[in-house]
Structure 1
Amino acid sequence: MESKHKFRKELELYLHIPFCVRKCNYCDFLSMPAEEEVRRHYVNCLLEEIRQKGGLCREYQVSTVFFGGGTPSLLAGVQIAELMEAIGNSFSVASDAEITIECNPGTLDRQKLLFYKNAGVNRLSIGLQSALDRELQLLGRIHTYGQFLENYDLARKMGFENINVDLISALPGQKTEDWEYTLRKVLELRPEHISAYSLMVEEGTPFYEQYGRDERCREQGGHPCYLPEEETEQEMYRLAGQMMNEKGYRRYEISNYARPGRECRHNIGYWRGISYLGLGIGSASLMERLRFSNIGSMEEYLEHCRGLGKGTLCFGSQSAGEFLGEQSLAGILQNAPELLNAEQVIALDKKQRMEEFMFLGLRMTEGVSRKEFKERFGAELEGVYGTVLQKLCSQGMLEQKEGRISLTEEGIFVSNYILSEFLL
């Protein structure tokens, strides 16, 4: 790993591990149960993709690596170590890079944690969701709260000093005192970071079949039968902020809280528009003002990566390897995206980049900077969004101070509406 000061361009890596023991009832992510053989083939192909794309990113230095899923901790510890070794050999990685792996209780053990530690993983993100077993069962989780405690304690004993715990509120039948109990139990453990999301009932999930009508009712201001009412959901959000603050956590994004200096660097980079490269099926990327995603089919992904490894994919008279070695990433995306397993390549224009700057930056409590907006786009913020800013500030949804614009407490509760106002 090299010093981060030698390179001008910063890059974040996201590795998608789509496997899980079983799909949770609320999950709409690209994830699936799979046999060990499929997982092994996938890791081999992911290693090939790392090698191919690493050669195209010589002007970048990797500041963060994030293994997301699915359940990355379902892989064998040695497989994570192999992936990290390939990243180190193929990319320039900063010596202080933040390296995170998402874990589910019930899939961790001492051997895996030792592999993670030796491979350079320095941050764990553990998906607890609730401290009540009946809520975990409702969600379709594979673990109990007791198993989470065992895994959390083991991670601490193995020397992990940067741990995030994921939680979900506004569950069907959940009362404010239930949520308070979960918050209290987790805060007693003093993790460095807590992500506290409100349940989203997404189409295509078992929860949508059960509670989709309830979700629509709540959105329209009605009285849902199973989901908490909007006022209760807001009360849970305020309670989380209050309890976190009392224990020394700072909310730095709508749903994320951290002890001082323990904010998730990977997510902050995403909200601030740092270039990121997704590896694995369905993963998204933003580089050179180009947005693209990988093939979302497991079968097609495996076939593609095998072809790259065997040199059977060609571009004109050159093999894929020869062609990739001579081109820039942007050039390949524009001329032969199929060689990079890329779908939906979109060149973002100035208007789209302004939109993303606003609705990603406003998710953070520090908001967006007028100065940075002008430096990036050569225009004053008021010159582009003056009418919208005036309206939302007068409604008490935005506040302006010290050259920055941010959501108010009331604005957070209707953030989806506010962020949509910045679409040009």
Structure 2
Amino acid sequence: MKELELYLHIPFCERKCAYCDFLSAPADLPVRISYIKKLQEEIAYYGAQYGEYQVSSIFFGGGTPTILEGYQLAAILETVKEHFNITTDAEITVECNPGTLTAGKAEKLVQAGFNRLSMGLQSADDRELQLLGRIHNFAQFLESYDLARKAGFRNINVDLMSALPGQTLKSWQDTLQKVTALRPEHISAYSLIIEEGTPFYERFAEDERIREEGGHPRLLPEEDVERQMYELTETFLHTKGYERYEISNYAKPGYECRHNCGYWIRKDYLGLGLGASSLVEHQRFQNTSELKTYLEQEYSPQCEGQHERIAETIQLQEETGLTQTGHHIHIETLDKKSEMEEFMFLGLRLMAGISRQQFEKKFQVTLNSVYGEVLRKLKGEQLIEEVAGYVRLTEHGIDVSNYVLAEFLL
């Protein structure tokens, strides 16, 4: 049976964080209610199109999904279960910001079938949290974490962020120590990226440029300190029983995020909600990012099948240059070259690397026939290695992964 992962976007938050460039914003209660209704209509519509697929991973992301009430999230998940073929052991994740979780809400989520919670802590230092624009302090995170455990969550991820303005190696190690003492099953540890269009970009873009050039930034940690934070993360988490399975993700054995792994190996995934992206059977498509437009869309059960609609839209694009359908979905058909590129630079983010056998099975050509010269070059530079039929990044290759991955663009 064909497999499919589901992503549902909840684009609302209490307040926009200073570093965030995600599609999210505060919204009043009537807008949230209208959005839930439209999302349920979209779920029913696409459920009719993809009923033959088996769904083993569902991920509610945002924004802050837990800004909604527990019964609202439960109702959305129930709609998914009504219209899609969900496996009995499906991983069902909801993202959560501390300060938006109550005991009643946590219990309702567990009762509804959510079995994985992803908590956005970022730092255990209250000064760093305030600078980031987070709505919580560390004490509130501890309270939310305790509520989640008492409600029955047995699989919790904690998001952490290093290389923050003013952050030191000592404060980063303190964060790692405090979080691992709680024994979450999974930790995501990312370096701060200064994104254009955010308040952080206005304040720290020049510092970021100086750091990248090896200079001495005024507010951000220097390059060698950022590097030490990066090395400390893997070393410290390993001593606490967390194994690195992807460049920025660590898990206790058996708790690797199914949704993340599916993305890195290019499993088909369907994104529902505002701005959500999808990749299904060589087709990449994306919902509109305009909230008003999304709320005005009509999802009729009598509409033609999704695959037929995509085919017609592609033909229309070729004839007219238009890039949208009646549902305001941007569509791209991936050719074999593009899929090979994605297979390589997504799969190489995994510590296990990419399988020669899987590459050949998927594309009906050997890995060497396409990338032989690149592989020889990168092996000579000691940036990749091969173990038991898998090609993977070396430690040095991970350090310069952007360079390595770019080499696989055909």
1:223 to 208, 216, 219: 216
Give structure 1 stretches of 5+ with no counterpart.
1-7, 309-319
Per-residue deviation at 1:385?
1.0
Does residue 1:290 correspond to 2:283, yes or no?
yes
1:353 to 335, 339, 343: 339
8 Å CA contact retained: 1:28, 1:204:
yes
1:331 to 304, 308, 317: 308
Per-residue deviation at 1:336?
4.7
2:175 to 182, 186, 196: 182
Write out per-residue CA displacement over residues 148-198 of structure 1, whole angstroms, 9 at most, x where no aligned residue: 000101111111100000000000111101100000000100000000000
Rounded Cα–Cα distance in structure 1 between residues aligned with 2:397 and 2:313: 43
Write out per-residue CA displacement over residues 322-349 of structure 1, whole angstroms, 9 at most, x where no aligned residue: 233xx2x222122258667253211100
Partner of 1:265: 258
AA aligned to 1:368 is I
8 Å CA contact retained: 1:234, 1:413:
no
Aligned residues: 401
- Aligned residues with identical type, % of pairs: 57
Write out per-residue CA displacement over residues 249-280 of structure 1, whole angstroms, 9 at most, x where no aligned residue: 10000000000000000010011111000000
Partner of 1:300: 293
- SS in structure 1 of the partner of residue 164 of structure 2: coil
Matches within 5 A, 1:52-201: 52-201=45-194
Per-residue deviation at 1:227?
1.2
Moved more, 230-239 or 268-277: 230-239
AA aligned to 2:356 is R
Partner of 1:383: 369
AA aligned to 1:18 is P
Partner of 1:212: 205
Moved more, 160-169 or 374-383: 374-383
AA aligned to 2:407 is E
AA aligned to 2:138 is Y
1:27 to 16, 20, 25: 20
AA aligned to 1:321 is P
Partner of 1:344: 330
8 Å CA contact retained: 2:48, 2:301:
no
In the superposition, the TM-score normalised over structure 2's length comes to 0.96
Moved more, 384-393 or 178-187: 384-393
8 Å CA contact retained: 1:99, 1:120:
yes
- SS in structure 1 of the partner of residue 36 of structure 2: helix
Write out per-residue CA displacement over residues 206-240 of structure 1, whole angstroms, 9 at most, x where no aligned residue: 00000011112222232222111222112111101
- SS in structure 2 of the partner of residue 354 of structure 1: helix
AA aligned to 1:212 is A
Rounded Cα–Cα distance in structure 1 between residues aligned with 2:397 and 2:189: 18
AA aligned to 1:331 is E
Does residue 1:422 correspond to 2:408, yes or no?
yes
2:5 to 3, 8, 12: 12
Does residue 1:404 correspond to 2:390, yes or no?
yes
Rounded Cα–Cα distance in structure 2 between residues aligned with 1:214 and 1:298: 34
Rounded Cα–Cα distance in structure 1 between residues aligned with 2:338 and 2:79: 34
Rounded Cα–Cα distance in structure 1 between residues aligned with 2:9 and 2:328: 15
Partner of 2:236: 243
Rounded Cα–Cα distance in structure 2 between residues aligned with 1:344 and 1:41: 23
Rounded Cα–Cα distance in structure 1 between residues aligned with 2:266 and 2:396: 25
8 Å CA contact retained: 1:127, 1:165:
yes
Partner of 1:38: 31
AA aligned to 1:243 is F
Rounded Cα–Cα distance in structure 2 between residues aligned with 1:380 and 1:202: 38
- SS in structure 1 of the partner of residue 195 of structure 2: coil
Write out per-residue CA displacement over residues 286-343 of structure 1, whole angstroms, 9 at most, x where no aligned residue: 0011001101100000001xx33xxxxxxxxxxx43233xx2x222122258667253
Write out per-residue CA displacement over residues 366-403 of structure 1, whole angstroms, 9 at most, x where no aligned residue: 00011111111111111111121112111121111211
In the superposition, the TM-score normalised over structure 1's length comes to 0.93
Partner of 1:316: none
Rounded Cα–Cα distance in structure 1 between residues aligned with 2:328 and 2:379: 41
Partner of 1:3: none
